[in-house]
């Protein structure tokens, strides 16, 4: 069963009981959308670029019928999706960034190094290059920059060099193969708090899916479409995304006149009891703005 993170906090801060049109920009399996509809949202548009997730979300949200519309689209296409429907204003929006539990757990997606499988990593498997295809053509400097910038990996140059050398002998095609190269290339040996491949796999996933590209612009466009007094909530799971959200929200508040008011001076995080029930919530950070 899919468990949405920070459910009580999302409901408290988004105030869906006021009704209206809400957008779930990353609908996933529909967990947050279900909570919003149960609490009073009149109409909901859900976006996701993962077709497998949308298929499951349709089942999860079927009982609300025509009140729900699910769209196969990247969240950054939201302005276009709204324009196509003649919608100028929305009454709330939610984003749950990063990789979903479905993507991590499903076989054959290539997001996890816990299984040896094809190195895909695309959230939208209908388009774009796979991680294997990108690794086949990238040069060493660019790869090192990707691993350092998106994974905050201090051994980025050593890892990039090792991957390029290994590629000269045989194509980099599976998660297990790449993870083992990364582990051997790392500077430190012995026990690790996290697997040495973790940060590099995060970097590759962000790179493949262009996860940070256009995020700040999207936050601005979505906030501009909120009705006065309505709210945008964003849940981030890694520091790079959360930093973009934090800076963007602060800038919205500092404008003259202000675009929005920040409601979360510090990010809202999961309680100990929630983390026990749902370990994925451990790294979740929720930030919310209200349209001025």
What is the mean pLDDT of each successive set of 10 residues along the chain, which is 292 residues long?
87 98 96 97 96 94 97 96 98 89 75 91 92 97 97 95 97 96 78 81 95 95 98 96 97 97 97 94 96 97
Q: What's residue 113's pLDDT?
A: 87
Per DSSP, 177 falls in state: H
d(CA 186, CA 191): 12
The set of residues, in sequence order, having a beta carbon less than 8 Å from that of 221 and lying 6+ positions away, is 78, 79
| Torsional sign, CA 149, 155, 157, 162 | negative
Q: What's residue 95's pLDDT?
A: 97
Q: What's residue 2's pLDDT?
A: 66
Token pair belonging to 6: 């920070």
Q: What's residue 1's pLDDT?
A: 52
**Superfamily for domain range 7-98+212-291:** Vaccinia Virus protein VP39 (3.40.50.150)
CA 167 to chain centre: 29
H or E element at residue 219 = helix 215-224
Shortest CA distance to 109 belongs to which of 175, 29, 197, 167? 175
What Å distances lie between residue 93 and 2, 10, 14, 23, 233, CA to CA? 20, 11, 8, 5, 6
CA 2 to chain centre: 16
The set of residues, in sequence order, having a beta carbon less than 8 Å from that of 240 and lying 6+ positions away, is 150, 152, 206, 212
Shortest CA distance to 21 belongs to which of 44, 52, 5, 48? 44
Write down the domain spans for the chain. Answer: 7-98+212-291, 108-209
The CATH class for the domain spanning 108-209 reads: mainly alpha
d(CA 157, CA 173): 20
Q: What's residue 98's pLDDT?
A: 73
Say what the alpha-carbon torsion angle 212, 227, 10, 77 is, to the nearest 10 degrees. Answer: -30
């Amino acid at each position: 069963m899919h468990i949405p993170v920070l459910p009580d906090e999302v409901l408290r801060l988004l105030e869906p009981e006021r009704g209206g049109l809400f957008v779930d920009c990353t609908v996933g399996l529909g967990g947050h959308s279900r909570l919003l509809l149960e609490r009073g949202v009149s109409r909901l548009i859900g976006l996701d670029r993962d077709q497998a997730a949308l298929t499951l979300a349709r089942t999860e949200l079927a009982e609300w019928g025509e009140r729900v519309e699910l769209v196969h689209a990247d969240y950054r296409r939201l302005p276009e999706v709204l324009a196509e429907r003649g919608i100028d204003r929305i009454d709330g929006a939610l984003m749950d960034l990063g990789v979903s539990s479905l993507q991590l757990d499903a076989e054959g997606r290539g997001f996890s190094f816990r299984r040896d499988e094809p190195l895909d990593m695309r959230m939208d498997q209908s388009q774009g290059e796979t991680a294997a295809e990108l690794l086949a053509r990238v040069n060493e400097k660019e790869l090192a920059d990707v691993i350092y910038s998106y994974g905050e990996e201090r051994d980025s140059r050593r890892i990039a060099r090792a991957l390029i050398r290994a590629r000269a002998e045989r194509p980099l095609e599976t998660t297990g193969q790449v993870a083992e190269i990364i582990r051997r290339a790392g500077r430190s040996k012995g026990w690790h708090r996290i697997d040495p491949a973790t940060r590099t796999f995060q970097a590759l996933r962000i790179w493949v899916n262009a996860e940070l590209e256009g995020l700040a612009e999207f936050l601005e466009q979505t906030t501009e479409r909120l009705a006065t007094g309505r709210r945008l909530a964003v849940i981030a799971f890694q520091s790079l995304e959360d930093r973009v959200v934090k800076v963007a929200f602060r800038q919205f508040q500092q404008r003259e006149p202000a675009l929005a008011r920040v409601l979360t001076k510090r990010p809202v995080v999961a309680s100990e009891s929630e983390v026990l029930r749902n370990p994925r919530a451990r790294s979740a950070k929720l930030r919310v703005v209200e349209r001025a």
